[in-house]
Amino acid sequence: MRRTIYTAEHESFREAFRAFLDREAVPNVEKWEQAGTPDRDFIVKAAENGYVGFEFDPRHGGLGIDDFRYNAVMTEEVVASGMAGDTFSMQNDIIVPYFRDFATDEQRDRWLPDFTSGRAVTALGMTEPGAGSDLAGITTSGRLDGDHLVVNGQKTFITSGATCDLAIVLVRTGERDGRGTTFVVAEHGTPGFERGRAMHKIGRKAQDTAELFFTDCRIPVANIVGEPGRGLSTAIRNLPRERLSIAVSGVASARHAIDLALQHTRDREAFGARLADLQAVRIALAEMHTDTLVLQSYVDRCVEALNQGDLRADEAAGAKYQATELQWTVLDRVLQLFGGYGYMEEYPIARMWRDARIQRIYGGANEVMKDLVGRTLVGS
């Protein structure tokens, strides 16, 4: 079925971005997996080509493009390249709205030129060892002292945490009453702010994930992003976009896996015929293909709704859990169709499978997403 959300401009953008990834990313994926992070050079090159922070105003180095379809195209191509890096989704899909919608002009002048040139890699630090799904329970504190916040505490599982130059961090500045949390930007090099080492993960190895430590770290109040005391409200405003980004990658990953399965089952022979000639295999392919097509339409519709400014939190949560559950089911079935080869690192399906597991956990665990949808339905 032909998808209708993209125009010719999106498709030519896709071709250019795909060529960029083929040239600059695909040959290096193995190296980045060993290093645990992509090269900074790669991010700078991506930025030079307009792939980082393109939504920002041209005076800050952006292209002034406010159309999430371009973000979706990039996500789909990153998935198809086998890169499984989170650089673009983190910078473009997740961080951008914090600066675009909540930073002051002075802050944008200060940080965005480095962001859009790839000189500043950013991270978003919300999760703590004692508070993940229940973010209202964070304890990293930000005590006001003159014109500084004195920050103490620890964040964990932070994407780009080991390499970030700027971390947007959620800290407790008041009671647990909806008015007690604040986002503040910690700059690498500020005394009392330490980035941890990259954590050992079972997948997404080309992307660093780390702890952040704060010990009497004095951060100017000029670095507060959004309304003080309303950090969680700011996060809640941005989470539907983050969850949609995960949904886009989930469906793209399922589609790519089905393409791999088609190729493999046409090539591989067993019992005197192609695997694809076995009816059980064809039924598996048909189910995966149709389920993915159906979900693609819903996710495309969510992208349009986001562009129109009316994507609801429950709609994005539904897209996130449905797409990542489908992704997991499809990838596992496709790996099965590859037999023992699917378990070998050199086969792309193996890496896709282990990289996919986290999708049902981060951005809000799928159980939490279902609860959000359910509470919206019953009005609680």
Catalytic residues: 242
Residues forming contacts to ligand FAD in the complex (CB under 6 A) are: 124-127, 132-133, 157-159, 201, 204, 209, 358, 361-362, 364-365, 367-368, 371
Closest distance to ligand FAD from the beta carbon of 16 (Å): 28
Length of the chain: 380
Nearest to 88 by CA among 130, 41, 133, 53: 53
Give dist(CA 171, CA 174) in Å, integer: 9
**349's tokens:** 């399906």
Closest distance to ligand FAD from the beta carbon of 196 (Å): 13
| CA angle at 107 for the pair 102 and 112, rounded to the nearest 5° | 95
Helix orientation angle between 348-356 and 231-267, rounded to the nearest 10 degrees? 150
Give bridge partners of residue 150 from the DSSP assignment: 143, 218
Region for 81 from its dihedrals, namely left if φ exceeds 0, alpha if ψ lies in -120 to 50, beta otherwise: alpha
Give dist(CA 171, CA 152) in Å, integer: 9
The helix (H) or strand (E) run that includes residue 213 is: strand 209-220
Give bridge partners of residue 170 from the DSSP assignment: 183
